Amino acid sequence: MSRSGIVTAPIDVDAIVNEVRAPGNGAIATFLGTVRNRSDSRTVVSLEYSAYTGMANREMEAIVREAIALAPGVQIVAVHRVGNLDVGDTCVMIAAAHPHRGPAFDACRYAIEEIKKRVPIWKRERYADGSTVWIEACATDSHRTPINA
């Protein structure tokens, strides 16, 4: 069964892989997003993710439906964690299973790219000096709004 959602508890990678493991599925493609310790050469000590939860759940459900349309027969689980996360923690996970690897990879890649583009989730980096910055559009400094802690 495919599903998706915003979660607050730590992501249990093995449990999610086992949700899509099935005798007919010869391929399981997984993607984990983890909290990185560097951002534009600054040392990140933790991240706070927040979401517009209702809409984020709806967008993730739509993305899963689209991934299944793109790769018929795929079973996919997509979850994104919110709250305070430490460096190394898993913030997002996709597991896509299919009889063959091509559609599994396709569905997994589609889901993570669309989650990053569309799902209303924001992250605030906290640095070693105690300051924090909301990361927006995660591309260039011009999109960033410094907030002094």
Partner 1 sequence: MNLTVRVFASYADALGANTATISVSEPATVGAVRAAVAALSPSLPPRPLIAVNEEYATDDVTVNATDDVAVIPPVAGG
What minimum distance in Å lies between the beta carbon of 85 and partner 1?
12
Which stretch, 18-26, 49-57, 68-76, 96-104, contacts partner 1 (CB under 8 A)? 49-57
Q: Does 64 contact partner 1 by CB under 8 A?
A: no
Q: Does 54 contact partner 1 by CB under 8 A?
A: yes
Q: Are 80 and 6 in contact (CB under 8 A)?
A: yes
Dihedral sign, Cα of residue 16, residue 64, residue 6, residue 38: positive
Q: Does 21 contact partner 1 by CB under 8 A?
A: no
Question: Of 13, 15, 69, 138, which lies in the binding site for partner 1, with binding defined by CB under 8 A?
Answer: 138
In DSSP terms, which residues pair with 97 in a beta bridge? 28, 75
Q: Does 112 contact partner 1 by CB under 8 A?
A: yes
Tokens of 87: 């460096």
Q: Are 40 and 93 in contact (CB under 8 A)?
A: no
Question: Of 71, 92, 96, 104, which lies in the binding site for partner 1, with binding defined by CB under 8 A?
Answer: 92
Question: Of 117, 129, 130, 141, which lies in the binding site for partner 1, with binding defined by CB under 8 A?
Answer: 117
Residues at the interface with partner 1 (CB under 8 A): 33, 49-52, 54-56, 58, 80, 91-92, 112, 115-124, 134-138, 143, 145, 147
